[in-house]
Structure 1
Amino acid sequence: MAKKTKITASEIITFYMDYVAKHHHKPETVEDFAESHQFDDAIFYEHFTSFKDLEKTIYNILFENSLAILKQSPDYHNFSKKDKLLSLYYTFFENLALNQEFVKQNLKGLENQLKALSTFSRLKKSFTAFIDDLNLETISLNVDSIETIQQKAIKESAWVQFLFIMKFWLDDTSDAFEKTDILIEKSINTGVELLDTKSLYNIIDLVKFLYKEKIQ
């Protein structure tokens, strides 16, 4: 069979995700992967430098697609900051669920190393840019250097929270990942409460939920 001479980056992504989901591991080499889909490996390198580069792109695309879907809705632009956060989380994790065979195989054994996973480097950049755009309010101290630190802390805290929810999602066996949805709501509520008020209700509610899940 003659090899294909034109393959798009999107097609390579689909081939790769399907391969990992089907075989439960990544291809041995780029050459083998290209050969199995009847195209020259040089075409792969026109789009990606390696499988790791490809994986970085995949997770970033899942995020960017989630955000693009939300922005297509006229109502989204009138949402509160909290509702924008909730909507993004729900949409992103729904996208993960649609691709769960690939994601769970790709991240298998790495559940406790997500924070240091370089595969998420582009995803983190897009995610923190989104948090930046929300312009979440901090406690005003009228000191520029401190408020800059606060903004950075918010982005880093939001990223850690995001990874924590992803770890929870990877372990979630509930129907339609309903427990992950509960965790998303409680986590966002708690985060907003910490920024805007001194209320402990949502913090206690989140701790109760996590404690219950842990002991079960």
Structure 2
Amino acid sequence: METLEKIRKAYTEYVLENGKQPTSVFQFAKKLKLAEAEFYNYYASFDAIEADVWLTFFLESKRTVEADDTYQTYSVREKLLAFYYTWIELLKAQRSFVVYSYGRLRGMNADGTMSVASPIARAGVRSRTVNSQVLMPFKDAFNDFARDLLAEGRESREVEPRPFLTDRYPAALWTQALFVLDFWVKDVSKGFEKTDTAIEKAVNTTFDLIGRSPLDTLFDFAKFAYQNR
């Protein structure tokens, strides 16, 4: 087992058994028979391990769908659906860790209530927003993936270019990914079947909005009429 994988595995097991991050890098590294200095050759902190885990979830899901020959024949809408279904399927195998980590990032207890230690709770504010450096590597990689899909969608005419809005589409898809994650974490339906429905509705709604609509036709006509008056 490579050292990186060994560290990730040990960290995941620790937080699931103890419900919190290790007390110190020194103690954690010692149990792995690593010098503290050697640990820092791989990760700068425990949050860095967690960030790598989230990024790995994404990269493995993306690699899995792209390795399927039929994926290459899908429309952009179908490709995003396939990614989400594959991603959630992969997360199922690590659900306990995902629930722990996502809850920690949102400042939530395991039962879904706000932790009193959370800065959000101390401020008396409840928020659905996950804004953490831990998710940044995952976010950056996802945004690259989203931009590629959207570029493909513009070529296939599944995505309509719109002034001032097109550049915001990747951010909209990132928000959608967080919605899917949040829904799945809270889903108590058998086999998480409601999550499958949520994914389908979220993706279809998004592509109905960013695809060509009667309003675009009306705008084109108005533009043509104005230019040829």
Unaligned runs of 5+ in 1: 1-5, 200-216
SS at match of 1:116: coil
Q: 1:169 aligned to 178, 184, 188, which one?
A: 184
Q: Distance in 2 between matches of 1:174 and 1:21?
A: 23
Q: What is the match of residue 150 of structure 1? A: 165
Higher helix proportion: 1
Q: 1:131 aligned to 146, 171, 195, which one?
A: 146
Q: Distance in 2 between matches of 1:114 and 1:8?
A: 33
Q: Distance in 1 between matches of 2:100 and 2:89?
A: 17
Q: Distance in 2 between matches of 1:88 and 1:182?
A: 15
1:55 maps to 2:50: yes
Q: 1:74 aligned to 60, 69, 74, which one?
A: 69
Task: Please tell me the residue identity of whatever aligns with 1:34.
Answer: A
Identity of aligned residues (%): 28
Please tell me whether Structure 1 or Structure 2 has the larger radius of gyration of its CA atoms: 2
State the aligned residue count.
188
Q: Distance in 2 between matches of 1:139 and 1:80?
A: 15
Q: What is the match of residue 112 of structure 2? A: none
Q: Distance in 1 between matches of 2:128 and 2:30?
A: 32
Unaligned runs of 5+ in 2: 109-126, 215-229
Q: With the length of structure 2 as denominator, give the TM-score of the two structures.
A: 0.76
Task: Please tell me the residue identity of whatever aligns with 2:57.
Answer: L
Q: Distance in 2 between matches of 1:175 and 1:95?
A: 17
Q: Distance in 2 between matches of 1:55 and 1:185?
A: 28
8 Å contact from structure 2 (residues 47, 134) kept in 1: yes
8 Å contact from structure 1 (residues 48, 54) kept in 2: yes
How far apart are residue 160 of structure 1 and its match? 0.8
Question: Considering only aligned residues, what root-mean-square deviation do their CA atoms show, in Å?
Answer: 1.9
Q: What is the match of residue 122 of structure 1? A: 137
Q: With the length of structure 1 as denominator, give the TM-score of the two structures.
A: 0.80
Q: What is the match of residue 9 of structure 1? A: 4
How far apart are residue 42 of structure 1 and its match? 2.0
